[in-house]
């Protein structure tokens, strides 16, 4: 799960973002930051990290509960669990300032129940046997595809977030080189590849619905807000013309 902030300050921005993006941002901010009001005992990062760090334990527990130690169960657990640990390492080494906001108890529960908890459902579908994948390719080839997609996605996400974090500590402004040379939102591309690999492993309709909600209702909004923020730089027009939104030569 990724979010974006202003390229120079680390604060949430609106600028001239499309109306639909501003409306969705206000709604999601209320639901996950301010829901029901009251004290703000938690940081947003604590809720996220609880889910990320707990994924390995949760999936291993499912395997024991359902007595499912198949190759698919082990591979999925390794993929999703390791990604969670990668996220924790990222948060320790170069934390995203936007995750440090204090949130209400209701907001934290909403964040977990509305988005983060659904990622655990992916593994449950596979390990419990509710999902009975009939892959388009032989199992070993499909596993190889999913593992490769997950590893590459993790690398892209980590590299993009690290570049952004350390570059902006030294020099504020629009980042147009490195991981951002050809794609304007490489961190989101990495996240999409990672969670896409999980959905492909499960091969069930429910992960598709969950990811459609997250990618359209959250990722697309954040990217629109980020582009509105970046548009205030003089070099933005040229940068936008020579780059792609997510995938070179496709979108």
What mean pLDDT is predicted for residues 111-135?
A: 96
Q: Rounded to the nearest 5 degrees, what angle is found at the Cα of 15, between the Cα atoms of 39 and 25?
A: 40
DSSP secondary structure letters along 196-208: HHHHHHH--HHHH
pTM confidence score = 0.89
216 Cβ neighbours under 8 A, 6+ residues apart: none
The b/e string for 199-228 (b: 16+ C-beta within 10 A; e otherwise) is: bbbbbbebbeebbeebbeebbbbbbbbbbb
What is the pLDDT averaged over residues 237-249? 92
CA dist 217 and 24 (Å) reads 7
Instruction: Label the pairing between strands 42-43 and 102-103.
Output: antiparallel
d(Cα 219, Cα 120) in Å, to the nearest integer?
19
pLDDT of residue 15: 56
CB burial of residue 39 (10 Å; 0-12, 13-18, 19+): exposed
pLDDT tens-digit map of 90-111: 999 999 988 999 999 999 999 9
251/182 Cα distance (integer angstroms): 11
pLDDT at 4: 39
Confidence of residue 17 (pLDDT cuts 50, 70, 90): confident
The structural domains of the chain, with segments of one domain joined by +, span 19-242
Alpha helices in 30-138 (DSSP H): 44-65, 71-93, 105-111, 117-128
Mean pLDDT score across all residues of the chain = 92
Percentages helix, strand, coil for the chain (3-state, rounded to 5) are: 70, 0, 30
Share above pLDDT 70 across residues of the chain, in percent, rounded to a whole number: 94
């Amino acid at each position: 799960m990724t979010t974006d902030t202003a390229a120079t300050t680390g604060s949430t921005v609106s600028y001239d973002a499309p109306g639909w993006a501003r409306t969705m941002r206000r709604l999601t901010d209320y639901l996950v930051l301010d829901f029901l009001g009251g004290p703000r005992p938690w940081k947003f990062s604590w809720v996220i990290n609880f889910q990320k760090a707990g994924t390995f334990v949760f999936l291993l527990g499912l395997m024991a509960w359902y007595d499912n130690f198949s190759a698919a169960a082990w591979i999925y657990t390794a993929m999703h669990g390791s990604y969670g640990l990668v996220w924790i390492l990222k948060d320790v080494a170069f934390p995203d300032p936007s995750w440090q906001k204090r949130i209400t108890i209701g907001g934290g529960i909403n964040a977990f129940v509305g988005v983060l908890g659904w990622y655990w459902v992916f593994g449950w579908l596979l390990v419990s046997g509710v999902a009975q994948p009939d892959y388009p390719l032989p199992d070993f080839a499909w596993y190889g595809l999913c593992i490769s997609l997950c590893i590459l996605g993790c690398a892209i996400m980590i590299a993009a977030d690290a570049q952004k974090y350390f570059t902006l500590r030294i020099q504020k402004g629009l980042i147009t080189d490195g991981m951002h040379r050809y794609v304007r939102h490489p961190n989101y591309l990495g996240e999409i590849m990672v969670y896409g690999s999980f959905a492909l492993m499960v091969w069930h309709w429910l992960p598709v619905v969950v990811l459609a909600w997250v990618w359209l209702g959250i990722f697309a909004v954040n990217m629109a807000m980020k582009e509105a923020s970046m548009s205030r730089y003089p070099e933005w027009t040229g940068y936008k013309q020579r780059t792609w939104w997510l995938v070179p030569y496709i979108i």
